[in-house]
Structure 1
């Protein structure tokens, strides 16, 4: 029997709770993809927008709750490293998903204006987070000025993504391998809108609760194992809360919903930058940006580089690469693995 008070948990107790919560996030996060795909067709908002807003937000709920809870409990290092590590590993997962699409490189087949816009938005948000520690350590009601700017710029960017989807000023050149977002015409066989939205909200609530329960177990694991909060945040919590992104992106690629796969990852990454902003509000000891460790700042820079390479791949659109994986995807794989190895250097 595991005690209810995390303060008396042993490493074994923490690992059991962590494993159960990670399994819940993986199972529910995977199921929610099919619901979002149907909502995209039912509402007509398209796979790119659904991936950016609905799927990105839903699969990120566990990680966002964990980061905010960690910040509230005065664990800024775990909070920030979980948020930034999640963005990095999800970009890595997109490169992994590229291996499962054999007709062409994913950057070629899923190139679209909304995906390019979302990636540009992500780069801007990451740059703002990177700049925040270099600004004066000034807060208003305990909130750094960059925090409302992050929220405002995210909303502005999502509006641009929506406009670029509805009325694009240019389109990527269509090839035989390009897969466009074509809604399913057979919406009559789908569940009703009420049922779809009901399932979506219930699963989001479950993911949020699992993320809340993950935080104390991660803190105990960091303390008892001696690995530190940054390593636990980047490798353990970030990966476990990002498992839905891996499973859903691979599943979406295998069934040909390429725009949803890429849009879900990139849109989710842009949404994940708001973890840091929300954590700054929850952190009551000042600016969370100025509490970031050097390792956390390193992961901001690395993720910025990975995102820049990805957007170049979406513009370049290499059709085939070595082993049927794009050169940009290969670069993302190498950068992420290199970053993980440096954590232990």
Structure 2
């Protein structure tokens, strides 16, 4: 049906779905923060798992729908392009948090572990794309390995948070994750979780609209699917991460902000597993080109810089932010310039 709509209507649907995604993100940040308190799991873990999963639902719908439609570059670039955009969002949040460098203030071992897991997961698609073109029942083995690594990584994150082998040094600027609600407040976590799931469902529907309209825009405007995926649909479906990150920082929930971005990025890598299963013409990793792999490498580079920032914990740097935020914004800006001249 969307394929028969006029170009202005298609633009309108795309913009409307993006706006809905952004509005839902504000409410989800509040619910996730309260769920972290009521469940006792903390902001970083809830942000990395629940908020990361929910805010990524629209993106996974985009990638899977594109794969089913036979658009491998759109599916791939949407997933990995979102990782770069969302990591850059942390630098924007750092600019707004004036007390200190956000990565310094939000010291949390769970975020460090998740960033390391994400860096490893981003290396696997590059290995798959540059290795033998092999599939089992139409699915590349790396797609299965990504899921296994994710499960093991989240188990490790939970274990390390409960029994850490080291602790970050506390300074005047360090912001600790102090619960605002008790586990029994308001009937426990279940009412909040029910609201959260309804909003997540709406995000998924919005993602389907973004995918269909994004594919049509690529066809009508003559723009490559890589550019549409990495810079248009990826940014549109990443709006929940931007909104929830800024809302979390405003609430003082810094661990939730960083955990939500890293967790969302990890789920974005899992888009590739889902898309590879949905793509029935062979290995998704071998159906894409160098332009798509460029965004994987960019995501890995930006995540490595973020990981360094979380470990080094520079108090202040250029413009009151850390070196990692400056580097992440620079890398993302450079990538946009490279994509523009392709």
Band of TM-score, shorter chain:
over 0.9
Deviation, 1:13, is 2.0
Output the CA distance in 1 between the equivalents of 2:195 and 2:76: 30
1:104 aligns with 2:93: no
Contact 1:125 1:273 in 2 (8 A): yes
CA distance in 1, matches of 2:288, 2:166: 40
Select between 242-251 and 189-198 the one with higher mean Cα deviation: 189-198
Offset, 1:278: 0.6
Partner of 1:145: 141
Task: Spell out, residue by residue over 1:132-189, the C-alpha distance to the aligned partner (whole angstroms, 9 max, x if none).
Answer: 1111111111100101000001000010011111111111111111112111245666
8 A contact 2:122–2:300 mirrored in 1:
yes
SS of 1:60's partner is: helix
Check the 8 A contact 2:244/2:257 in 1, yes or no: yes
> In the TM superposition, what is the alpha-carbon distance from 1:215 to its structure 2 partner?
1.2
What does the per-residue CA deviation read over 1:100-146, in whole Å, with 9 as the maximum and x for residues that have no partner? Answer: 11111011111211000000000000001111111111111110010
After superposition, residues 274-285 of structure 1 pair within 5 angstroms as 274-285=270-281
TM-score by length of 1: 0.96
In the TM superposition, residue 193 of structure 1 has moved relative to its aligned partner by 2.8
The equivalent of 2:124 in structure 1 is 128
Distance 2:154 2:183 in 1: 26
Contact residue 32 and residue 46 of structure 2 kept, 8 A: yes
Contact 2:38 2:189 in 1 (8 A): yes
Alpha-carbon deviation of 1:10? 2.3
Q: TM-score, structure 2 length as denominator?
A: 0.97
Q: Which runs of 5+ in 2 are unaligned?
A: none
Alignment of 1:28-47 (within 5 A): 28-47=24-43
The answer for the alignment partner of 2:249 in structure 1 is 253
Contact 1:11–1:225, Cα closer than 8 Å, also in 2: no
Deviation, structure 1 residue 274:
0.1
Q: Is the 8 A contact 2:104 2:313 kept in 1?
A: yes
Mapping 1:119-198, distance limit 5 Å: 119-185=115-181, 190=186, 192-198=188-194
1:14 matched to 2:10? The reply is yes
What's the C-alpha RMSD, in Å, of the aligned pairs?
A: 1.2
Match in the other structure for 1:323: 319
In 2, the alpha carbon distance for the partners of 1:41 and 1:188 equals 10
Distance 2:244 2:139 in 1: 35
For 1:294-325, what per-residue CA distance to the aligned partner results, in whole angstroms no more than 9, with x for missing partners?
11111111111111111111111110112111
Flag structure 1 segments of 5+ consecutive residues without an equivalent: none
- For 1:44 and 1:187, locate their aligned partners in 2 and report how far apart those are by CA, in whole Å: 7
How far the C-alpha of 1:267 sits from its partner, in A, is 1.2
In the alignment, what sits opposite 2:306?
Answer: 310
Question: 2:38–2:185: 8 Å Cα contact kept in structure 1?
Answer: no
Task: Judge conservation of contact 1:55–1:268 (CA < 8 Å) in 2.
Answer: yes
How many positions carry a matched residue from both structures?
Answer: 341
Rounded Cα–Cα distance in structure 2 between residues aligned with 1:292 and 1:30: 34
Q: State the shift of 1:29 in Å.
A: 2.0
The reply on whether 1:298 has 2:294 as its aligned counterpart is yes
1:51 aligns to what? 47
- Whole-angstrom CA distance in 2 between matches of 1:263 and 1:256: 13
Query: Which whole-Å deviations, capped at 9, do the CAs of 1:250-301 have from their partners, x for residues lacking one?
Result: 1111221110001110111111100011100000000000112211111111
| Counterpart-to-counterpart distance in 2, 1:46 and 1:224 | 46
